[in-house]
């Protein structure tokens, strides 16, 4: 049995590949929506955030032979918990991660953290569009909401908890774009123009995360771009292809 960390569209596709290769797996996801997509494919799912202790207990109680971590490139805590639990249980940890992207644009700044991104955005004037989700929204509202020359627009998934968080943080309803992607370059461009965006903030999530569409649309309009670089984590065994993961799983389970 494989413990599979999921939550993205390419993670779902990889889980199906493993299932089709006759591997038993249980996927862990954070949201019910992500769980539904996996269950449609006939994959067992465990919903909710797992601590290191939760993972270790689950591994020992369910005869888990390996962990495949296909979580989002910015799900740093989940990956660290999985690596530690795998080490303590003495089972293989295998990481799947989308390939990184590079962009050539003189109005782009790459930063190392959400805090640094908020600090850079605070030096700008005009409309700042945040496309980094709701998890770290407070970092930006604390820095930007009180500034008289900055309007913060947050684009995020249309979930009730996200809307409640926006309300708690004081983000006006008119500054919330609740919508689920992926989006085309044309859609992103129209959205930037509609809101008069000057600065776009995103994460280096990879092509599957539609970062290139967001960036290319912003470049066409001459916007400033702030990109948050991926966390620096030593995963050990890392693969950017499904075939690489399958080969590693085969070695780990059938050795």
Judgement on whether residues 84 and 177 belong to the same structural domain of the protein:
no
- Does position 255 have pLDDT exceeding 70, yes or no? no
Q: CA 124 to CA 113: how far, in whole Å?
A: 18
Calculated CA dihedral for residues 119, 201, 80, 99, nearest 10 degrees: -140
pLDDT digits (tens, 9 = 90+) for 221-253: 999 999 998 888 888 878 989 999 999 998 888
On whether both 204 and 248 belong to a single domain, the answer is no
Residues 7 and 94 in one domain: yes
118, 74: one domain: no
Q: What is the mean pLDDT of residues 47-66?
A: 91
More confident residue, 167 or 212: 167
Taking the alpha carbons of 169, 214, 94, 250 in that order, is the dihedral positive or negative? Answer: positive
pLDDT, position 83:
94
Q: Are residues 122 and 217 in the same domain?
A: yes
Residues 77 and 115 in one domain: no
Whether residues 210 and 240 fall in one domain: no
- Letter string b/e over residues 222-251, b meaning 16 or more CB atoms within 10 A of that residue's CB: ebbbbbbbbeeeebeeebeebeebbebbee
Same-domain status, 218 and 112: yes
One domain, residues 222 and 240: no
CATH code (residue 176): 3.40.50.720
Is the entire prediction scored with pTM above 0.85?
Answer: no
Domain span including residue 120: 108-228
Residues 164 and 219 in one domain: yes
Tell me: the pLDDT tens digits for 67-115? 999 988 888 899 999 999 999 999 999 999 877 777 778 999 999 999 9
């Amino acid at each position: 049995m494989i413990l599979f960390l999921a939550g993205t569209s390419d993670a779902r596709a990889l889980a199906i590949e493993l299932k089709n290769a006759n591997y038993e797996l249980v996927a862990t996801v954070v949201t019910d929506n992500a769980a539904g997509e996996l269950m449609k494919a006939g994959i067992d799912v465990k919903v909710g955030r797992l601590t290191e202790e939760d993972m270790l207990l689950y591994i020992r109680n369910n005869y888990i032979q390996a962990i495949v971590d296909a979580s989002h490139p910015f799900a740093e805590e989940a990956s660290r918990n999985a690596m530690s639990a795998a080490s303590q249980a003495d089972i293989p940890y295998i990481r799947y991660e989308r390939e990184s992207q590079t962009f050539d644009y003189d109005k782009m700044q790459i930063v190392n953290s959400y805090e640094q991104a908020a600090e850079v955005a605070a030096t700008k004037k005009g409309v700042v569009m945040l496309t980094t989700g709701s998890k770290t929204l407070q970092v930006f509202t604390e820095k930007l909401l009180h500034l008289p020359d900055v309007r913060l627009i947050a684009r995020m998934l249309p979930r009730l908890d996200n809307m409640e968080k926006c309300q708690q943080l004081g983000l006006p309803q008119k500054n919330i774009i609740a919508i689920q992607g992926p989006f085309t370059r044309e859609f992103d461009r129209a959205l930037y123009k509609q809101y008069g965006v000057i600065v776009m903030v995103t994460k280096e999530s990879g092509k599957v995360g539609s970062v290139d569409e967001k960036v290319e649309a912003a470049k066409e309009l001459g916007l400033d771009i702030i990109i948050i670089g991926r966390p620096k984590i030593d995963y050990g065994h890392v693969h950017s292809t499904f075939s690489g993961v399958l080969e590693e799983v085969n070695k780990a389970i059938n050795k």
